[in-house]
Amino acid sequence: MSDNSSVSKYLLVINGKPEGPFSIDELKQHKIKVTDFVRSSTMDDYKEAHEVEELRGLLGFTKQHLEPQYFAGFDQRWMASALDWFMVSLVIIFFGVIALLFISEKLTQIMIAVSVLGIIPIVNFIYHVVMEASPKQGTYGKQILKIKVTDMQGERIGLAQSLGRNVAKILSLLTLFIGYLYSFFNTKQQCLHDVFAGTLVIKDRLI
């Protein structure tokens, strides 16, 4: 008899309702399919069984590469961006104010204030590059709105692709936001920088 004591138990969606939790052996008895939705206590949301590495290893599933169908709208993307700019700006300004408390020389204070304004977009750029290539696949603003950045197959992007995507945003800005409005004219709601980088911004599926 196999020892499944160290294996997670999963809720299984049956006829639209979550049931369980079930052990691996119990999932086998329910004849779980690769497209059935499951969730363990360590997962943020439901996923199809083939998306869970543990289940692929124990049940012999292979990961299915399905084209994403749920795309983030312009309003969600704009709100996520606004939240990110607010959070990054708040952190940088906080440290700037702390620095000003220890400096009395006026010229230095002015230089710090000006530097804060210049540092914010640089930090915001680095923050986006790193977070969009992270396991969370998105900044905190995107996570709050439950959207994430993927490649064209819905998979996590690497650091180089994330860098290319965020550099391409400059082109979207230089075209007087036409690059962003482009999302209204294609079925996958890609902005111009998404097209150049081969990325999508998709919604997390919820049960």
In a domain? residue 41: yes
Q: What is the C-alpha to C-alpha distance for residues 23 and 103, in angstroms, rounded to an integer?
A: 61
148 lies in the same domain as 92:
yes
Query: How far is 33 from 20, CA to CA, in rounded Å?
Result: 16
Among 20-29, 90-99, 152-161, the least confident range: 20-29
Q: Does the residue 125 lie in any domain? A: yes
pLDDT band at 65 (very low <50, low <70, confident <90, very high): low
CA dihedral 155, 161, 162, 164 (to 10 degrees): -150
For residues 51 and 91, state if they share a domain: no
Alpha-carbon span 175 to 41, nearest angstrom: 46
In whole angstroms, give the CA distance from residue 167 to residue 19. Answer: 45
Stated pTM of the model: 0.69
Q: Is the model more confident about 70 or about 193?
A: 193
Task: Give the C-alpha separation, 204 to 69, whole Å.
Answer: 10
> What is the chain's length?
207
Contact 109, 103 (CB under 8 A): yes
Mean pLDDT, to the nearest integer, of 140-146?
Answer: 95
Residue 120 lies in a domain: yes
Q: Which range of residues forms the domain containing residue 20?
A: 10-59
The average confidence (pLDDT) of the chain is 87
Strand pairing partners for 37?
Answer: 48
pLDDT tens digits for range 184-200: 888 899 999 999 999 99
CB 18 within 8 A of CB 12: yes
Domain for residue 4, yes or no? no
3-state helix, strand, coil in the chain (%, to 5): 50, 15, 35
Domain assignment present for 67: no
**End-to-end Cα distance, the chain:** 34
In a domain, 160, yes or no: yes
CB-side neighbour CA atoms (13 Å) of 81: 14
The count of structural domains within the chain is: 2
Shortest CA distance to 85 belongs to which of 133, 114, 117? 117
Residue 54 sits in the same domain as residue 78: no
Three-class secondary structure of residue 4 per DSSP:
coil
Q: If residue 160 lies in a helix (H) or strand (E), which one and from where to where?
A: helix 159-174
In a domain, 1, yes or no: no
Q: Domain check: are 180 and 82 in the same one?
A: yes
Above 50 in pLDDT, residue 1? no
**Model confidence at 61: pLDDT above 80:** no
Q: What percent of the chain has pLDDT over 70?
A: 91
Per-residue pLDDT tens for 87-110? Answer: 999 999 999 899 888 888 888 888
Assess whether 188 and 87 both reside in one domain.
yes
Residues 92 and 51 in one domain: no
Q: Which two tokens stand for residue 33?
A: 């399919």
Asked if residue 122 and residue 41 are part of one domain, the reply reads no
Q: Are residues 138 and 183 in the same domain?
A: yes
Residues 81 and 174 in one domain: yes
Q: Are residues 176 and 112 in the same domain?
A: yes
Q: Do 135 and 165 have their domain in common?
A: yes
Q: Are residues 23 and 101 in the same domain?
A: no
Q: Do the domain assignments include residue 21?
A: yes
Is-cis flag, bond preceding 21, omega within 30? yes
Q: Assign 155 to helix, strand or coil.
A: coil
